[in-house]
Structure 1
C-alpha cells in the first residue's frame, strides 16, 4: 500500500526546519518550535500539517518580518538551477522540498503588509519547493504589484520561477485560494501565458496548459480564440501544450475547439455500446465495449469520450466525462474498443443507488448509450 501523502511532512521535517533555522538565527527558540510543531502533528491531514508548522513558525520566528525572511532565505539549500522539484529535500546544507511549504505559508500570512519583501522571499522559496499557493493572497490583495512582479519573473532564468508565474495565477488552482477576480476576468494573466507558452521548459509549458484549461471552464470562447490565433503553424511543443489545454472543451464537444483540431465533422458510421455487468455493487468495475463501423469514404479522425450520468441524492443525474480513445478509422473499417471503469468510493464523489446512463461522445456528439443499475 502506498505511503499516505500526509507523511511527507513529519517529525523529521520539524527537526530539519529547527536545525537549519537555528543555524542562521541564534535567538530562534528551536526547542519551542519543535514542541509546538510536533504537538498533535500525527493526527492532521496533509495540508493541515503544513499550516500547523506555519503556526509554530509564527510563534517562534522574529516579529520583524524582514528579519524573519532573512533567516528563512539563509536556511535554504544553494540553488544549482537544474533541480527537479520532486527530487528536492532537506540536506546538510539547507532546506528544500516539502519542509519549505510551511515557510511559504508563513510568508503568505505575515507578509501582506510588506508585499515587496514577501515576494522576494517567495522568489527564493519557489526554487526549493513551490510558492504557487502562497503567492495567491498577494495577487488578490496587491494585484498591481503582483502582476508587475509576475511579468518580470516570466523572464527569470529559473524554470521554477517562470512556472510560478503561470501556476500561481491559475484561477482555480487545486488546494489554492480561488482567485475570483481572475475567474470573472482572466485577461490580466493572458500576456503572461503568451510569454510562456513557448518556454523551453516542458515543466513550465505544462502549467500554461493547465492554466488555459482553468480558463476554459468559465470562458470557453476565450480559449477558442486562443487556439485560432496560436495553433496554426505551431511548433510541436506548442501543439502539445494547446492540446492539453483543450481537453475540457474537447470533452464538452465545443464546436470551435473541435474545428480548430480538425475534429468538427460528425462521425459517419454506426456505434453501439455494451456494458457488463448490467447490475453492479459499489466497489466493482464495469467493462465498456464500443462497437464502431465506418460508412465514410475517407479515413476519419475520432476523439471518443464517455460520460457517466451519476445519480444524485435527489434522484436527478449529473454527467461526468471520462477520457476514452483517440483513433483513425479507415473507410468501411469495423472495430471494438473496450475499457474498464471502476465505480469505487472516492472523496470527491458520493454514489447513490439507481439506474446510471453511460453515453459515448464521438467528436463531441453523443452517438451511443447504455445503462447499468448500481447497488450501494
Structure 2
C-alpha cells in the first residue's frame, strides 16, 4: 500500500509550483522547490511534509499575509482531500492576527478539502468568538461549511491540536451540535456523532443525558445518537444498552461453544462458533472481546461486533468467526496468554484463554 505521506510527492510540488506561477507570475519557483525538497524530504511523514510546504509558501509568497492569502484562495479549488489541507494550514500558521480575513478564507477553503485542523488555534486564542463563528457556519447552505462547525470543534479531533478547555468542559459546543442534529447531510451528521462520541470519553454522564433528550424524535437524530454511542455500547453501559432496547440478557444463552485452539503463533488465526438461544422475543447485540497482551505484559481489551438483530422466543441463531492475529499498522501482537469473551446485550457469557507465541 502506498504510504499516505506520498500524497505530497515531487509531482505534487511541481503541480503546486506551476499553479502558483500561473496565478502570481513573480513567484520564484526554484526557491519554493528548494525549500521543500531538502535532503531529508523522503524521511518526513505526512503532516511534516504538509508543514514544510506551508513554511515554504510563507517564505516565497508576497507580504502582507492578506496578499498571500488572496493568491492561495485562487489556487486552492482543484486540491481536494488531504492534498488540499496545505491551504488552510497556511491560515492556521500565519493568520491568527487577521481574524476576519482568516475566517472568510477558511469558510472557502474547507469546501475544497477541510479546514478542521486549521481552526484549532483559533479556538485556543478566542474560544467565545470561535464558538460564535461555528454557530454561523452551522447555518450555511454548504455541507462542508456546516461540517467544519462540528468537526473543527471536536473535543478529541484526531491529528488536530488539542483544545484542553473542551476536554474539561464540552458544554459550550452543545449549541453547535444542537443546530446540526437533524442535518440533511450524512457527512455532517457523522461529524456530529463523532463529536458526541468524543464527549463520551470524558463526560459519559453528559452524553447519556443528551442521548436521552434527543433519541426518539427524529430518524436522522436517532442515527447520530446510535453512532455516537458506539464506545459506550462496547463498554456495556447499561443505560445506553437499554435506550436501544438491548435488554433481557438473562434470557439469552450461549450453547455449543466451539473453540479448539489452545495456542497459535503470531500471524495465524483462531476459529470459534456458537449457538445463541433466547427464551423471549428481544433485540440482540452480539459481540466478542479479545484481551490482547501488550508489550509490557498487561492486557487491554478490544471489542468486535458480530451482529445487531432481533431474536424470537425459543429461537436459536448460529454464529461463527475467524479472527486473525496478523500484525497491522494499527496493531502489533505480542506473545502471552490472551482471552476471548462472548458478550450478549452487554453481558459477558463465556470466556476462554489461549496462548499466542
Interval containing the TM-score (normalised by the shorter chain): over 0.9
Query: 1:330 deviation in Å?
Result: 1.8
Once the two structures are TM-superposed, the CA of residue 269 in structure 1 deviates from its matched residue by 3.1
Alpha-carbon contact 2:287-2:307 (below 8 Å) kept: yes
Give 2:334's aligned residue.
352
With over 3 angstroms needed to count, the CA separation of the structure-2 counterparts of 1:69 and 1:357, relative to structure 1, is same
Q: Does the Cα contact within 8 Å between 1:267 and 1:362 map onto a contact in 2? A: no
- Secondary structure of the 1:50 match is helix
Deviation at 1:44, TM superposition (A): 2.4
Q: How does 1:143-182 map to 2 (within 5 A)?
A: 143-182=127-166
SS state of the match for residue 290, structure 1? strand
The counterpart of 1:248, out of the listed 227, 231, 252, is: 231
Structure 2 distance, partners of 1:276, 1:285, is 12
Question: Is the alpha carbon distance of 1:98 and 1:351 closer, same or farther for their aligned partners in structure 2, counting shifts above 3 Å?
Answer: closer
Distance in 2 of aligned mates of 1:199 and 1:250: 24
| Counterparts of 1:242 and 1:308, CA distance in 2 | 26
Q: Secondary structure at the match of 1:62?
A: coil
TM superposition shift of 1:351: 2.7
Equivalent residue of 1:66, what SS?
A: helix
- Verify the 8 A CA contact 2:254 2:275 in the aligned structure 1: yes
Q: Are positions 1:288 and 2:241 aligned together?
A: no
5+ residue gaps in structure 2? Answer: none
**1:229 corresponds to which of 186, 189, 213:** 213
The equivalent residue for 2:348 is 366
- TM-score scaled to structure 1, two decimals? 0.89
SS at match of 1:7: helix
Distance 1:3 1:347 in 2: 13
Write the deviation string for residues 69-120 of structure 1: whole angstroms up to 9, x where unpaired.
111112233xxxxxxxxxxxx3xxxx44443212221211111222222222
C-alpha RMSD of matched pairs (Å): 1.8
Q: Within 5 A, what are the aligned runs for 1:4-19?
A: 4-19=3-18
Instruction: Name the SS for the 1:332 alignment partner.
Output: coil
The aligned runs of 1:37-48 (5 Å cut-off) are 37-39=36-38, 40-48=40-48
Q: Distance in 1 between matches of 2:222 and 2:262?
A: 40
Q: Tell me, yes or no, if the aligned pair for 1:274 and 1:370 is still in contact at 8 Å.
A: no
Q: Deviations over 1:198-255 (max 9, x none)?
A: 11111111111111111111111112111111112322x2222221111111111111
Q: Distance in 2 between matches of 1:351 and 1:167?
A: 32
Cα distance, 1:361–1:200 mapped onto 2, change above 3 Å: same
SS for the counterpart of 1:338 is: strand
SS in 2 for 1:304: strand
Q: 2:254 maps to which residue?
A: 271
Tell me if the contact between 1:104 and 1:122 (Cα under 8 Å) persists in the aligned partners: yes
**Preserved contact between residue 149 and residue 176 of structure 2 (Cα < 8 Å):** yes
Aligned residue number for residue 109 of structure 1: 93
Which residue does the alignment assign to 1:333? 315
> What count of residue pairs does the alignment treat as equivalent?
355
In the other structure, the counterpart of 1:120 is 104
**Cα distance, 1:182 vs structure 2:** 0.7
Q: Distance in 2 between matches of 1:288 and 1:6?
A: 38
**Following superposition of structure 1 onto structure 2, how do residues 58-73 of structure 1 map, counting pairs within 5 Å?**
58-73=58-73
Report deviation, 1:4. Answer: 2.7
Supply the distance in 1 between the matched residues of 2:171 and 2:327 (Cα, whole angstroms).
38
